[in-house]
Each structure stands twice: as C-alpha cells, then as structure tokens.
Amino acid sequence: MGHPFHLVEYSPWPLLCSFAILCMPVGLVMFIKTGDFILMTLGTVTTAIIAYVWWRDVVRESTMQGLHSSQVVSGLKMGFILFVVSEICLFFSFFWAYFHSSLAPAFDLGSVWPPVGIAVLSPFQVPLLNTSVLLLSGVSITWTHHSLEAANNKSAIQGMMTTIALGGYFLWLQYGEYVETSFSIADSVYGCTFFIATGFHGMHVLVGVTFLSVCFARMLLLHFDSKHHLGFLAAAWYWHFVDVVWLFLYVSIYWWGS
C-alpha cells in the first residue's frame, strides 16, 4: 500500500467513470435535439460496467487483501459524507426552485399555488403510504445494523431483505402514482418541479436498493463482521438520507403544496 488514503491502489476507474458519466447528459441533449440516443445509451451502459468493476475492486481490497486499515476506513467515511453533502446541495436546489415559484406565484400562473388547471394529488393516499413504507424501511435498516454489531448474521439478513422489499414496494407505488397523475412535467412550473424533485428521489431510491442488494450478497458471503462492515454502513447512511429527503418532499410538495 503506497499511502494510507481511500485510493489504496492505482485505479483507472475514477477517470474513466467521469468520462462515461459526462456522456449521459451530453447524450441526453443530443437525444432531445436530434433523436439520436446512441451516446446516452453508451454512457449509461459504460457507467454501469465501470461501477461494477470499481465496486468489485473495492470489495477485493477490503475483504480479500485486507488493505482497509483504520486510516483508509476514516478516509472512506469522510469521502462518503462529502458525497452525501453534495446530494443535499442537489436537492436543496430543487426545493429552492419549488418555493421560489410557490411562495410568490407569478401572474401567468394565476397568482395562486397550485397553478390554475393543476389537479394535485391527495397527500393522504399513495404519498402517505409511501411515507409509511420508507419510514418502516428506516426501522428495518437500523435493525440490520444492530444485528451486524451483535454478530447475528441471520437477523441481519432478514432485516436487509425487509429493507430491499420495502424499497422495491416504494418504487412500484411511485410508478403507479406517476401513471395516474393528471398532469405532466410539461404542465407549468408545478409539473416541472414536482416530477424533477420526486423523480430524482425515486432514482436515488433505486440506487439505494442496488447498494443494499450488493450488501445483501456480501452478507450471504460472510464479508461483514461486528467490527468491519463499512460497505453496509455507507449503504445505511445513504438510505437514511433518502428517507429524510422524502419527508421534506412529502411535507412541502404533497401536503403544503396541495
């Protein structure tokens, strides 16, 4: 190991991943302008492949090679915390756009919020159920964490299975909600901010479920013990972040905004 930082070996994946991710928004613009989706598809597939091999290398470094010393673990935790902070900034921009438009509705919106002609969703139907589902998933991921710390792998696996199932159920409910919504992303600033904020959150739930699924596979392979389970800890932090963001979305967009 050359240095006690989070990159314990020279890796091509950070640089290659940055170029692959760049292809996705550029490809999206090309798709919107010309209808050509080749670059966007190439960027998405390449990013998924690089994420897999990068994740594989990190698992090998930690589990097989034993390179994750206390200094490396500390660096990884700090890096992940900074990543979550960047995600908070992303969602802050969505909330800023929403409240900028809703607290002082413009004349062309009818000077009211929600805008004239928008049939908003009831906050006490599917959105409330989704809130309950995510809160329960927060309980189950905490159950998993405590089980790992108690070296009870069977209980941890049960908690993880419950969390993944609840995350999948949330996505299914959100899909059904989108299908039944009477407005679209093109319907004024309300539709735009609604679908951008809730859609990006749904994408984060999908990423979180993927993250938890990898941890579930590692639990089955006995990669974690009561002292060393940083991969799971990062997934749990991310999932709690997703829970908290949804609470803000529910209160501001579904309840207050209706």
pLDDT tens for 61-97 read 888 777 777 788 888 888 899 999 999 999 999 999 9
Range(s) of the domain holding residue 185:
73-256
Do 86 and 3 belong together in one domain?
Answer: no
Please give the average per-residue pLDDT across 9-26, as a whole number. Answer: 89
Residue 120 sits in the same domain as residue 244:
yes
Residue 120 sits in the same domain as residue 194 = yes
- 140-195, pLDDT tens digit by residue? 999 999 999 998 989 999 999 999 999 999 999 999 999 888 888 888 888 889 99
Question: How many structural domains compose the chain?
Answer: 2
Domain end, chosen from 19, 51, 68, is at: 68
Q: Is the pLDDT of residue 4 over 60?
A: no
Residues 212 and 120 in one domain: yes
Domain shared by 252 and 166, yes or no:
yes
The pLDDT confidence band at residue 43, using thresholds 50, 70 and 90, is: very high
Q: Match 């290398």 to its residue by tokens.
A: 57
Q: Examine the domain organization and report whether 218 and 165 are in the same domain.
A: yes
**Of 21, 37, 68, which residue constitutes the final position of a domain?**
68
- Give the pLDDT confidence of 212-258 residue by residue, as tens digits: 999 999 999 988 888 888 889 999 999 999 999 999 999 999 999 77
Co-location of 104 and 231 in the same domain: yes
Is it true that the peptide bond before 114 is cis, omega within 30 degrees of 0?
yes
Instruction: Quote the pLDDT of residue 7.
Output: 60
- Looking at the fold, whether 46 and 156 belong to one and the same domain comes out as no
70-71-77-79 Cα dihedral, nearest 10 degrees: -160
- Please tell me the predicted confidence (pLDDT) of residue 200: 92
* Neighbour tally for 132: CB within 10 Å: 12
- Return the number of other C-beta atoms located less than 10 Å from residue 45's C-beta: 12
Distances (CA, A) of 186 to 25, 47, 183, 194, 203: 19, 29, 8, 11, 20
Q: What is the CATH number of the domain that holds 216?
A: 1.20.120.80
Q: Residue 52 is part of a domain; what is its CATH number?
A: 1.10.287.70
DSSP letters for 201-235: HHHHHHHHHHHHHHHHHHHHTT---SS--HHHHHH
Two structure tokens written together for 142? 């905490």
Q: At which of 45, 68, 91 does a domain end?
A: 68
pTM for this model (two decimals): 0.87
Verify that 111 and 219 share a domain, yes or no.
Answer: yes
CA atoms of 183 and 169, how far apart (whole Å): 23
